[in-house]
Amino acid sequence: MQQEVNYSADKYSTIVPMVTGPISVISSGAIIIMILRSEKKLSIVYHRLLFGLSTADVIVSFAMSFGSLLAPKDSPQVWRAIGNESTCQIQGYFYLLGALAEPLYNCALQIYFLCMIKYSIKTEDIQNKIEPYLHCIPILYGVAVASICLATDSIHATKSWCWIESYPYDCRNTDDCERGKYAYWLLWLLQALPFVIILIFMTIVMWMIYDAVRKREHAMNRHSFVPSNQSMHAKMSFRTSTASQHVSSRKTLTRVLQYYLAFLLAYLVPNISTLLVVLKLKVIILEITTFIVYPLQGFYNFVVFIHPQFSKVRERNANFSIPRALVVAVLTFGRASDDVNENDGSIKSENSSSSIKRRQSNVRKDFNLEAETCIVELNRMDKVSYSSKNNNNNNDSGDGIRSNLDQASLHCVEENDKGEG
């Protein structure tokens, strides 16, 4: 019975990556194409880091897509194998290159958000002083580890795909191993231990970002009083600015948290499963789950990346089905709304002078209209607030009016953001 269970697990470890791997390749490839087709392309740090992250995922997911097929034919631990030592080493090299660069790019993405949110570092300083390290470290580390494993003959077939393993399979005594005598220690020092450090580091950075946003919002709430002698335009500017900062901080925090959860979803279960295997505790369901969730990080990143654009398309076209809205979101990503036909996702002539003038005119009209509306509304509510203070000092009433003022300011910001988009 136990042999049948092990046989089924070995079978799944070969078949499942052949399904989940290509899904991740397509998802990361879609992110790369959307970035290159957008108006900003690779001109901003966020896009360049995502481009590197997605490229690393394409490499590792493509390597996993072959499963154990590239392992040597005479590998007894493999369910299906049609390759040889050369194909196995090629697969293992590119797998290690992408598998080690990808989590480091996740760290780089969090470091970028940390610099922007907590330390308020200017974009130019991040680009010139910090970003080069955010690219060099993942790439160089991935190339170095993959090259070391290849040079020490430590890439051999496992039950799933070729990567760090000794030969014969699963030998731990260096005297019994014909090749890859130090594969076990290389696995721990160059891959397992860095993953633990990366997980701890990303958790700490995630908390630092959350704490910075929380403290900033608390400070804005404490200093949100506007003197009564200020003009209506000054009051509106202050309130809309405060509300805009609230919305922007929350959106950024949500985006960082989503990328962090995508990383956990891809790496937490595999690391737990690997730890249990090292401790001689095999849990079949965890191994199968690993082959499902681990190769899909590109898909998780795609969901996080496309979600804001998908939400905009659904808001503007409530009658769109989810697949149609998703296709339109992909085709219209990074494009001005005036240059996009959202019915089919086709791009209008964005470079024509008439298109540019029409876009600028529409933005000005929308902004002026919303500004006038907000001024009238805030003026009315200020009068109500002033009257309430003169008539009575009811705290509940004052709190309610203050809440309504904040909601009106937030509405102004949201509507102006839509006009600018």
Q: How high does pLDDT run on average in the chain?
A: 78
Q: Which residues partner with 379 through β-bridges?
A: none
Q: What is the pLDDT of residue 395?
A: 45
The DSSP-derived string for 162-218 is EEE--BSTT--STTT-SB-TTHHHHHIIIIIHHHHHHHHHHHHHHHHHHHHHHHHHH
Residue 151 has pLDDT above 90, yes or no: yes
For the ranges 8-12, 46-50, 158-162, 184-188, the maximum mean pLDDT occurs at: 46-50
Give dist(CA 73, CA 326) in Å, integer. 42
Q: What is the pLDDT of residue 80?
A: 82
Give dist(CA 204, CA 198) in Å, integer. 10
pLDDT higher at 34 or 402: 34
For the ranges 122-126, 190-194, 246-250, 351-355, the maximum mean pLDDT occurs at: 122-126
- What's the mean pLDDT in 117-123? 91
**How many Å separate Cα 124 from the centre of its chain?**
22
- Between 125-129, 163-167, 220-224, 283-287, the lowest mean confidence (pLDDT) is in 220-224
pLDDT higher at 116 or 361: 116
Q: Please report which confidence band the pLDDT of residue 168 belongs to, taking 50, 70 and 90 as the band edges.
A: confident
Share of the chain above pLDDT 70, in %: 69
Residue 5 has pLDDT above 70, yes or no: no
pLDDT higher at 104 or 397: 104
Q: What is the pLDDT of residues 200-213, one digit of tens each?
A: 999 999 999 999 98
Residue 325 has pLDDT above 60, yes or no: yes
Residue 260 has pLDDT above 90, yes or no: yes
Radius of gyration of the chain (CA): 27
Instruction: Parse the chain into domains and list their residue ranges.
Output: 2-316, 351-420
For the ranges 71-75, 246-250, 268-272, 322-326, the maximum mean pLDDT occurs at: 322-326
Residue 392 has pLDDT above 60, yes or no: no
- Helix axis angle, 353-391 relative to 395-420, nearest 10°? 180
Contacts of 205 (CB under 8 A, 6+ apart): 107, 110, 111, 114
- What's the mean pLDDT in 299-320? 93
Q: Please report which confidence band the pLDDT of residue 11 belongs to, taking 50, 70 and 90 as the band edges.
A: confident
pLDDT higher at 26 or 186: 26
- What's the mean pLDDT in 61-66? 95
Q: What is the pLDDT of residue 402?
A: 46
Q: What is the pLDDT of residue 350?
A: 44
For the ranges 36-45, 340-349, 394-403, 406-415, the maximum mean pLDDT occurs at: 36-45
Residue 405 has pLDDT above 80, yes or no: no
- Between 28-37, 61-70, 320-329, 333-342, the lowest mean confidence (pLDDT) is in 333-342
Q: Domain 2-316 adopts which CATH fold?
A: Rhopdopsin 7-helix transmembrane proteins (1.20.1070)
On whether the CB atoms of residues 329 and 310 are closer than 8 A, the answer is yes
Give dist(CA 98, CA 55) in Å, integer. 8
Prediction pTM value:
0.77
Phi/psi at 280 (5° precision)? 65, 30
Q: What is the pLDDT of residue 190?
A: 83
Residue 113 has pLDDT above 50, yes or no: yes
Q: What is the pLDDT of residues 225-235, one digit of tens each?
A: 555 555 555 54
Share of the chain above pLDDT 90, in %: 44
Q: What is the pLDDT of residue 352?
A: 45
Q: What is the pLDDT of residues 66-110, one digit of tens each?
A: 988 999 988 888 878 889 999 999 999 999 999 999 999 999 999
Give the dihedral of Cα atoms 286, 292, 294, 300; nearest 10 deg.
-130
Both structure tokens of 357: 């003038």
Contacts of 120 (CB under 8 A, 6+ apart): none
